[in-house]
């Protein structure tokens, strides 16, 4: 598949943008473990929020392997166009526009998925952003505002007309929030109706599901969000299954330890001791969520206040396991990663 001039593998495996999760460290880890394409956490298009510590930390995509898609969110066409230019000037390879997020913080300002109920506004935004930059612009949407108005096909057509280079579609409507199951019929219709590449997104948690969704929708790729939390290995597991039809064995304990250790150290370094330990807690919780015997360590790890303490407890946990133990949750058997946003 291709986004603008960027060539990506067919059956492309993308890491979904997740605010508070897909920071530079997690993006890099997922790439290392097989993600073909990554998107940053969303950045507000509001210029007043540009110079905050949070924005500065989220903007740190310079020097990452190309292409990194930088996601922007907002409702003012001019602000979005300015934000696109600003991020392009700072090295973004692709600009992604968020029209998929149902979060109140975003939707109250008629941004995110709330925009789907105003196709005219969608077109205005897309035209302004595409005209503002000479790098590819992509769009992330849901299937519509609510189950009675699944206008995803219309929005996808408007996007193609406006010059958008690729779409990601989460198979829920805005009103669904994260309830119920994602549906892929609308995504399949979108894939039939537009010729730009589409990523199918929503509830893909196993290699088999990835293959089924690719086959059912005809999408050019799948986008994985929650199932990658605490399980960045999912990308290489899916790729192996798509390529061979066989399942990779779960990552051995020694590898999980090494990956977690490196991830935690990078978080400590990037965010500083206090914030780094806090950000790391969230990831530790996900990594160890369903690992047998992890419960006691998990509680202690959540209470650790210093980086060294956190790393020491992690080492203690893994010291109790043989390095080749396959303690990873078997993603092929069940799906522990379904969780609310």
Task: List the catalytic residues.
Answer: 101
Binding status of residue 201 toward ligand FMN by CB under 6 A: yes
C-alpha to C-alpha distance for 13 and 238, rounded to whole angstroms: 8
Instruction: Decide whether 42 or 158 has the Cβ nearer to ligand FMN.
Output: 42
Strands (E), the chain: 2-3, 6-7, 12-15, 37-39, 43-44, 68-73, 94-99, 137-142, 166-170, 198-201, 221-224
- The CA radius of gyration of the chain, in Å to the nearest whole number, is 20
C-alpha to C-alpha distance for 13 and 241, rounded to whole angstroms: 12
> How many CB atoms are located within 10 Å of the residue 23 CB?
21
Q: How far is the CB of 100 from ligand FMN (least distance, A)?
A: 4
Binding status of residue 226 toward ligand FMN by CB under 6 A: yes
The single residue listed with the structure tokens 């097989």 is 34
Q: How far is the CB of 296 from ligand FMN (least distance, A)?
A: 27
Q: How far is the CB of 318 from ligand FMN (least distance, A)?
A: 27
The single residue listed with the structure tokens 């396991």 is 321
CB 199 within 8 Å of CB 12: yes
Report DSSP letters for 107-130, one per residue.
HTTT-GGGGGG-HHHHHHHHHHHH
Q: Which stretch binds ligand FMN (CB under 6 A): 5-13, 27-35, 49-57, 223-231?
A: 223-231
CB-based contacts of 20, cutoff 8 Å, min separation 6: 41, 282
Q: Which stretch binds ligand FMN (CB under 6 A): 46-54, 157-165, 198-206, 322-330?
A: 198-206
CB-based contacts of 292, cutoff 8 Å, min separation 6: 327
C-alpha to C-alpha distance for 38 and 70, rounded to whole angstroms: 9
Q: How large is the angle between the packed helices 307-319 and 295-303, nearest 10 degrees?
A: 170
CB 37 within 8 Å of CB 15: yes
Q: How far is the CB of 320 from ligand FMN (least distance, A)?
A: 31
Instruction: Decide whether 136 or 307 has the Cβ nearer to ligand FMN.
Output: 136
Site string for ligand FMN, 76-115 (x = CB under 6 A): ----------------------x-xx--------------
Q: Which of 116, 224, 253, 280 binds ligand FMN (CB under 6 A)?
A: 224
Binding status of residue 202 toward ligand FMN by CB under 6 A: yes
Site string for ligand FMN, 262-301 (x = CB under 6 A): ----------------------------------------
Q: How far is the CB of 286 from ligand FMN (least distance, A)?
A: 11
Segment 109-138, which members bind ligand FMN (CB under 6 A)? none
CA proximity to 228, closest of 1, 7, 10, 22: 22
Q: How far is the CB of 308 from ligand FMN (least distance, A)?
A: 28
Task: Number of residues interacting with ligand FMN: please give it, by CB under 6 A.
Answer: 23
Instruction: Decide whether 140 or 298 has the Cβ nearer to ligand FMN.
Output: 140
Segment 14-53, which members bind ligand FMN (CB under 6 A)? 16-21, 41-42
Binding status of residue 311 toward ligand FMN by CB under 6 A: no
Binding status of residue 204 toward ligand FMN by CB under 6 A: yes
In angstroms, how far is the first alpha carbon of the chain from the final one?
29
C-alpha to C-alpha distance for 31 and 223, rounded to whole angstroms: 13
Instruction: Decide whether 319 or 340 has the Cβ nearer to ligand FMN.
Output: 340
By the criterion CB under 6 A, which residues form the site for ligand FMN?
16-21, 41-42, 71, 98, 100-101, 140, 170, 201-204, 224-227, 341
């Amino acid at each position: 598949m291709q986004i603008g001039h960027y060539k990506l593998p067919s059956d492309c495996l993308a890491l979904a943008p997740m605010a508070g999760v897909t920071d530079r460290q997690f993006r890099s880890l997922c790439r290392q473990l097989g993600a073909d394409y990554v998107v940053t956490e969303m950045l507000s298009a509001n210029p007043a929020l540009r110079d905050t510590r949070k924005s500065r930390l989220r903007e740190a995509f310079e020097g990452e392997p190309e292409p990194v898609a930088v996601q922007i969110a907002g409702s003012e066409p001019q602000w979005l166009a300015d934000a696109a230019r600003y991020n392009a000037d700072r090295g973004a390879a692709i600009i992604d526009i968020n029209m998929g997020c149902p979060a109140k913080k975003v939707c109250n300002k008629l941004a995110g998925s709330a925009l789907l109920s105003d196709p005219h506004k969608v077109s205005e935004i897309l035209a302004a952003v595409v005209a503002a930059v000479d790098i590819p612009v992509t769009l992330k949407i849901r299937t519509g505002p609510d189950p009675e108005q699944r206008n995803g096909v219309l929005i996808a057509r408007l996007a193609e007309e406006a010059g958008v280079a690729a779409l990601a579609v989460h198979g829920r409507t805005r009103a669904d929030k994260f309830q119920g199951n994602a549906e892929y019929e609308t995504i399949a219709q979108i894939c039939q109706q537009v010729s730009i590449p589409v990523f199918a997104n929503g509830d893909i948690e196993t290699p088999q599901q990835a293959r089924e969704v690719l086959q059912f929708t005809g999408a050019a790729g799948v986008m994985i969000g929650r199932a990658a939390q605490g399980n960045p290995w999912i990308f290489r597991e899916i790729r192996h299954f798509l390529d061979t039809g066989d399942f990779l064995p779960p990552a051995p304990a020694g590898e999980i330890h090494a990956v977690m250790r490196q991830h935690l150290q990078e978080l400590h370094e990037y965010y500083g001791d206090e914030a780094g330990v806090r950000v790391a807690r969230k990831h530790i919780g996900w990594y160890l969520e369903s690992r047998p015997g992890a419960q006691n360590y998990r509680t202690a790890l959540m209470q650790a206040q210093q980086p060294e303490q956190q790393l020491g407890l992690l080492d203690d946990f893994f010291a109790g396991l043989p390095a080749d133990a396959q303690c990873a949750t078997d993603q092929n058997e069940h799906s522990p990663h379904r969780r609310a946003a």
